[in-house]
Chain A
Amino acid sequence: MIWTLALELAYWQQTAIKLVVVALVIPTGAIILGYVFLMKMMSFMQSRLGPMEAGPYGTLQLLADGVKFLQKEDVFPRRADRYVFALAPVVVLMSTFLLYVVLPVGPDAVVSGLDAGLFFALAAASLSVIGVLMAGWGSANKYALMGGMRAAGQLIAYELPLVLAAIGVVIQAGTLDLNKIVLAQANGELFGWGGMGFPYILTQFVGFAIFLVAVQAELTQPPFDMPVAESEIVGGYQVEYTGFRFLFFFMGEFGTAFAFAGIASVLFLGGWYVPGLDPTSGWFNLIGPFVMFIKIMAVSALIFWFRFTFPRLREDQLQKLAWKVLIPLALLNIVVTGVVKVLV
């Protein structure tokens, strides 16, 4: 056996480290978002009291919740399809995990810099539909099935505007590689002045708006939360889930929100780049994550602001919004971007 041992080990080490980082980022992101936005921002916005007991200012509340979930009994409905029921949350969470594989937080700080990174992210996001359908069907519950079908219809309908909104950026940058998109923005010039790069939100504001609305729907949160609407179908596809399986859904939802906020900041806000610095500098591998974190929090604030302020739409209004407003708008955006790109 002629192993090139050192390299081989480094390869596995590298992979292992990356996996651990990704595995850590999701719970961390979920906890931060859940705490900052769900607990605190919502209580301020809706004038309610947030949890204050566990830890100073209630900082440990989510940890306490997590421990509570893990302690609960793992319940299977009697007539449920056990394998499908059990696998569904894993599939959803896996889809979330895959999103982080291509999300760059620095010039080299990316798990796998795929050539078609953005495409991969969108493909990975589409996997969660399977998990949701599995959950809805496997629970052997009418509400769950209805919720699952609603969710699947919604996810498919809003995947199109999501992809189409991103295509405007792709046309402008001329690449699907997320890191190259960041670099294209870093090296861009604003009216001939290269001082702060060229974040694509300046030209792709329509795309950005569509992207945010579509993300909102992809996350099945208000105002697009019909799949889990408690007052209509008592929790939808999540109704039969308890304990750590429910925690998986929870983590999946907030992890996906975190990841989509990250992708949005890469596509529209210049990613890990800070104006005024050399984008090729190795320092960005260190400060990039923090820059990204700030931008992700900013985008998340927007996403959750919508969540806390808009009332729920009706099912038909939801489909109408996607097919009659967002998709035509996104197509128009693509056409205009393409024409301008060719002309300029």
Chain B
Amino acid sequence: MTVLGVLVAQNIAFGVIAAIMVFAALRLVTTRNVVHAALFLVVVLGGVAALFLLMGAEFVGITQILVYIGAVVVLFLFGIMLTRTRIGNEEGTDHPRRLPAVLAAALVATITIYAVVTGFGDAELPADTRTTTAEVADSIFSTYIVPFEAVSVLLLAALIGAIVIARRN
């Protein structure tokens, strides 16, 4: 499976996933159909999950599917369908003047890509970086116990906040 020390299958997989992701991301920010945008978001998020699996981060990948696709996107779809149910393209999804946004995005892309290219050159990822769920759990419940607790409190606060904001009267 290796050519001159390069993992062929993984690289092909990466190429395919990356192409799909970039396409879906571009469609996500350009489509004028809000539901389609949410579905393109599913594709991007699925791609990210696949990348996680590719890098051996199995647990994070599955969490990505469960939380992002199973919950976040469903929440989006719910929000869209609760507020408007028109099928097809909508008016006024974009600003009329988009050039500043394009420029800003291009600037961001240029500087970040320049930074990573000059910074990391052709650094290789280690071949076998599979991590087990137990390792993740051990890390969370020892080193990162305080952030973990903080996040749980944050979730509670967000839960209450969302209910209070969205409640009628």
Give every chain B residue within 8 A of A123 (Cβ-Cβ). 62-63, 65-66, 70
Asked whether, in the complex, the Cβ of B87 is within 8 Å of the Cβ of A119, the reply is: no
- In the assembled complex, how far is the CB of residue B127 from the closest CB belonging to chain A, in whole angstroms? 15
Of chain B, the residue at the smallest CB distance from A4 is B1
- Structural contact, B69 and A130, CB atoms closer than 8 A: yes
Segment with Cβ contacts to B, from A44-52, A76-84, A254-262, A273-281: A76-84
Q: Tell me which of B58, B66, B77 contacts A126 (CB under 8 A).
A: B66
Within 8 A of A (CB), among B47-77: 58-59, 62-63, 65-66, 69-71, 73-74, 77
Interface size class of B (residues with CB under 8 A): 20 to 34
- A33 on the interface (CB 8 Å rule)? no
Whole-angstrom CA separation of A261 from B135 in the bound complex? 30
**A256 → chain B, closest Cβ, in Å?**
15
Tell me which residues across on chain B come within 8 A of A176, comparing CB atoms: 133
In the bound complex, do residue A81 and residue B35 qualify as a contact, i.e. CB atoms below 8 Å apart? yes
Nearest-CB distance from A177 to chain B (Å)? 8
Q: Which residues of B contact A7 (CB under 8 A)?
A: 1
Q: Is the CB of A119 within 8 A of B62?
A: yes
Q: Most chain-A CB neighbours within 10 Å: which of B3, B66, B69, B88?
A: B66
Q: Which residues of B contact A80 (CB under 8 A)?
A: 87
Question: Of the candidates B1, B77, B85, B132, which one forms a contact with A152 in the assembled complex, judged by CB atoms under 8 Å apart?
Answer: B77
Residues 89-141 of A at the B interface (beta carbon under 8 Å) = 114-116, 119-120, 122-124, 126-127, 129-130, 133-134, 137-138, 140
A2-B3, A149-B81 are contacts. A156–B88 as well, Cβ < 8 Å? Answer: no
DSSP class of A's interface residues: helix, strand, loop or mixed? Answer: helix
Judge whether B78 is part of the interface by a CB distance below 8 angstroms: yes
A133: contacting residue among B1, B33, B77, B132, CB under 8 A? B77
What's the tally of chain A residues with a CB closer than 8 Å to chain B? 35
B36 / chain A contacts, CB cutoff of 8 Å: 81, 83-84
Q: A2-B3, A137-B35 are in contact. Are A127 and B62 (CB under 8 A)?
A: no
A253 contacts B by Cβ under 8 Å: no
User: In whole angstroms, how far apart are the Cα atoms of A130 and B80 in the complex?
Assistant: 13
| Chain B residue nearest to A11 in the complex (CB) | B1
Q: Return chain A residues, CB-CB under 8 Å to B77.
A: 130, 133, 137, 152
The one of A1, A4, A149 that contacts B78, using a Cβ cutoff of 8 Å: A149
Known: A4-B1, A114-B58, A123-B70. A81 touches B87 (CB 8 A): yes
Give bound CA distance, A159 to B2, whole Å.
Answer: 42
CB <8 Å contact, A79 and B87 = yes
Which chain B residue shows the least CB distance to A121?
B62
Q: By the criterion CB–CB under 8 Å, are B88 and A126 in contact?
A: no
Q: Which residue in A2, A79, A126, A140 is a CB contact (below 8 Å) of B70?
A: A126
Question: In the complex, what distance in Å separates the CA atom of A7 from the CA atom of B33?
Answer: 47
Contacts of B59 in A (CB 8 A): 115-116, 119
Q: Within 8 Å CB of A137, what residues of B?
A: 35, 77, 81, 85, 87
Chain B 34-45, CB-CB to A under 8 Å as 1, else 0, gives: 011001001000
What residue in chain B is nearest A139 (Cβ atoms)?
A: B87
Q: Of all chain A residues, which has the CB nearest B65?
A: A123
Residues from chain B with a CB closer than 8 A to the CB of A159 are: 70
Supposing A79-B87, A152-B74 touch, asked if A127 and B35 sit within 8 A by C-beta, the answer is no
At the interface, yes or no: A299 with Cβ under 8 Å from chain B? no
Decide: B88 and A122 in contact? CB cutoff 8 A. no
- The smallest C-beta distance from A104 to any residue of chain B, in angstroms, reads 17
What's the nearest-Cβ distance from chain A to residue B42, in Å? 6
Q: Contact between A126 and B69 (Cβ–Cβ < 8 Å)? A: yes
Contacts of A53 in B (CB 8 A): none
Contacts A80-B87, A145-B81, A145-B85 given: A133-B58 contact, CB under 8 Å? Answer: no
Complex-state Cα separation, A3 to B8, whole angstroms:
10
Shortest A111–chain B CB gap in Å is: 15
A73 at interface, CB cutoff 8 A: no
Distance, CA A148 to CA B65, complexed state (A): 21
Q: Does A316 contact B (CB under 8 A)?
A: no
Report the nearest A residue to B4, measured CB to CB: A2
A173 to chain B, nearest CB (A): 13
Whole-angstrom CA separation of A81 from B78 in the bound complex: 17
3 residue pairs, one from A and one from B, having the closest CB atoms: A126-B70, A123-B66, A123-B65
7 interchain pairs (CB within 8 A)? A8-B1, A79-B87, A123-B63, A130-B42, A137-B85, A140-B87, A152-B77
With A81-B87, A148-B81 known, 10 other A-B pairs at CB within 8 A are A1-B3, A81-B33, A119-B63, A123-B66, A126-B71, A130-B39, A130-B69, A130-B73, A130-B77, A159-B70
